[in-house]
A and B are shown apart, each in its own frame.
Chain A
Amino acid sequence: MQPTDYSIVLRYLDEPDHAVHKAEFENWLKKSDANKAFYEELRMLWEQSAAAATYEGVDATAATERFAALLHQHYPATVAALPRNKRWWRYSAAAATIAAAALAWWLLRPTQVRYNTFTTTSRIDSLLLSDGSKVILNKHSSLRYPAAFGSRSRQVFLDSGTAFFEVQASAVHPFAVTAGDTKVSVLGTAFNLASGQEEIKLYVLSGEVAFGSNTSTASPIRLKAGSGASFHKKTGQLGMDADVDYNQLAWRTRELYFRDTPMEEVCAVLSEHYQVRVILENDARKTQKLNANFSHKTIDEILETLNALYNYRFEKRGDTIYIR
């Protein structure tokens, strides 16, 4: 295959909705079966390489040394010494010294907190906070955070939109996110917080968090990994979600899950995630259930799947899609 073949497929994969690139790609695809097979290979690599991100930062050597230490701890008689070299221990001892020095400096420095604002418009962006915690901010969202955290706590504000937090663990400095009238306090965890017009939704991916409201005297709810809670702005009600909506994370993972989901709800989810209006015109199909996973798919690919598998027909008018 020639470099131009790569370019044609790449431009299409990069921006499947780009009219010129799409037409160029479709013409090229029709030319031969070899082109089709080539496209399938590149599409597979394209999709799977996004999933390969799971292997980013996995340090098998360090993990093996931790395991060797564990084995030695359990069976000091049989496993006399660490079988691997002790590099990892040296590094971790050095890291601990640096961490202790940094902590001392951090605790002793004067506390004058100035806030920066991080706002996204048309694309998702991420931010590394001064403590090493990571924030991934969805489109059209805004976060206020101190340039450096003070000595007492780590406080940030989600002023609008949705954010995913991966909080660096710290036993002494709780990390707190304020969104509207609610506050999420954690020690070290990963969670998703969406501050919408009507409600503020929280989903905890790992660790444990406390979710409370400033306007209510009730004590905060403790949420474990895999659970979610919502705060309704109008009523001031704060409660656990009975059914966790896995698609809350879809803006970041680009994976959508439907489990016995009524088509009406499917359309609502698609509307939200692809920022188009998807309207189900056929009342009889509103309660029909869908079971499917879509990973890194464009809205067109999803519609084509619905058409091929369940015979749904769709029509685009302006930025609205009608499904029948």
Chain B
Amino acid sequence: MPYYPEVATIQGLVRVIRERRLPSEAVPRPTHTISNAPVEAMQVILEGDVYREFRIIDVGAALKARRKENVADMIEVDAGQQVQFGHELARRGRGRRARVLHSPADGLIVLAEDRRIILQVSERAIEIQAKIPGQVQEVEPHLVRIAGSGALIQCAWGNGGFCYEAFRFLPEEGFVKLSKLDVSISEYRQMVIISPYPINKGDLLVAQQQEVAGVVAPSMSSDLREFAMGLKFPVILTEGFGQRRPTTLIYTLLQSNMGRQAAFNAAAPDRWSWERPEIMIPLPTGGSTPPTPALDQALQVGAQVRMTRAPWDGLTGEVVELPPAPQVIESGLRLPCARVQLADGQARLIPLANIEVVG
């Protein structure tokens, strides 16, 4: 019976296609991004404004207009017009005795009629970066699609940060060694630090003090989420929370590309978002187009998989058998399983639900 597992891409060279979107509530600004143009990872490709609160402005009262006066004629803005703080909205009279109503905030005029103006206040401006270097494929008001090539490592959690920097591994002595370095001459400054061991709060403080560009580690305590979210540099967890073993495949891939620049997108978890935390290392393709990871394929014997739950979490292996009937696993549950040969040569029964294909 076919089973379609989740896919986590951990590949040395793939074609990466990513859609960057403005949030649905944002009003897009005119974009300068054009199709087929090359983009850098840090380049802003979409801009927009989010409008929230409405202000109802009684124009007649503000301008002290008499009841008989036609206030609508005093209004100088139209619905749909964007205004800045202090922009003239309405005027009564002329010369020095004129009364002028100014906009109390940046925003969008949504209604201008009779005796009132309704202004929707601009809450924030949004800039969306490409987050991978590549070529623009498609541009829409709310969306830009980009394609690039390189190594791709999809991870478990991110603190919302992003950077495009070179990376290197933590010294053998760990963050303790790092803490003793002189920041001004440290070779780790403005580099992304790869730690193959779980990290703690002290490690993150050292990273902050050493002005690193980012941190990648297998895991940390879930208690540190809030703290990590407050850091200015990206923090990416490849496995999850607690003391998790690192996926060897990931760290080997990073090791083999050490010193290169890479896009570290520590996208915060959101089940409805199209972004997930990932590391993309741009690589030359030699003129050919590498394959795009398949997202929806049935699990088959021979597939490379990673286990996502204890007791085998973080281990990778190859599917050697797909038993037709459910099997009893260590927890006592009887579930559809795959027999997976791990790196140590042992074949283990793993529930299909706890497997993701290394796409």
Q: Do A and B truly interact?
A: no
